[in-house]
Amino acid sequence: MIKQSNFLKKINFCVSRFIIASALLLTAILYALVAQDYIKAPLFGISSLKASAPLNQKTPCIEVTSTKELIALFEQHEYSLDSTADDNTPIEIPALYLSTLPNDFAKNLTIADKKELFMKTLLPLILEANNEIIQERTKLIALKEIIENKGTILESQRAWLNNLADKYRLKKFSPEDTNKLDILLTRVDEIPVAMALGQAIEEAGWGRSYAARIKNATHGVTLPSGVKAYESLVISVKSYMRNLNANPAYIKMRKIRSELRAQNKDLCGVKMMDGLYHYSELRNKYIRKVKKHITHHNLVRFEDAQLKEI
């Protein structure tokens, strides 16, 4: 009996050591995942952000030489802006990122067809730009929670936060400064699809303006020398969003957006346009024009649109 008791003790000892070793291994694996920036929103209780944003890779662009070719491309992917039978189902937008507008963009089309073609062209670009911001915001919130809970972040994560602050032009930033983190969070946020599309309609003249066709200028961002030119349309849209999110002239717009977030309300392009008094020399007249585009063309219906891989 004594020998059997000793034998059982050895078995229990081995089992307990195995359990401890397994727990340590699991902890190490979880830490490694965080170290590699595999931070998922649900782990940190983030539920107000849109999910399923694609990985932040260089956006592949498509070249077309004519309006006819562009229309054929959209037809090939069965790209339609018609509402679905189920109003609760988001409109799916094929991930077709046009590099530039063809020089004959929408030429000889009816007004209705011209407008639809322009919206089809811009929507994937706007959704892609917002998805990039969603990824940044999700990761920023996760790291912010770690810091506020007196946790330790990795050097790679610290460097990422510093680079993000530089991107959004936040000076004297320090990851340990929670006030600075709060300010950064007000800048790293989405631009409503209806607002971005409405401004593009006004600035690009439904895609027929010289700046849109020759300079890839979707939102009329200007320099002292004139309208700024861009390498591609997607870069133009992303630059427009960063300008709204970082420029001191649009702090009122960001304040309106933050207040909507604090009230757990959906972002509203019509309300946020009130913060863009300095976007155009036309001031309030410009704001009214964009609001009219949003309401007249019911651009709010695209707010829940989702990108569809092609």
Give a three-class secondary structure readout of the chain: CHHHHHHHHHHHHHHHHHHHHHHHHHHHHHHHHHHCCCCCHHHHCCCCCCCCCCCCCCCCCECCCCHHHHHHHHHHCCCCCCCCCCCCCCCEEECCCECCCCCCCCCCCCHHHHHHHHHHHHHHHHHHHHHHHHHHHHHHHHHHHHHHCCCCCCHHHHHHHHHHHHHCCCCCCCCCCHHHHHHHHHHCCCCCHHHHHHHHHHHHCCCCCHHHHHHCCCCCCEECCEECCCCCHHHHHHHHHHHHHHCHHHHHHHHHHHHHHHCCCCCCHHHHHHHCCCCCCCCHHHHHHHHHHHHHCCHHHHCCCEEECC
pLDDT at residue number 38: 34
Residue ranges for the chain with pLDDT beneath 70: 1-58, 83-87
Which one-letter amino acid corresponds to residue 46? I
pLDDT at residue number 39: 34
pLDDT at residue number 34: 38
Classify domain 42-308 at the CATH topology level: Lysozyme (1.10.530)
pLDDT at residue number 82: 84
pLDDT at residue number 18: 58
pTM over 0.85: no
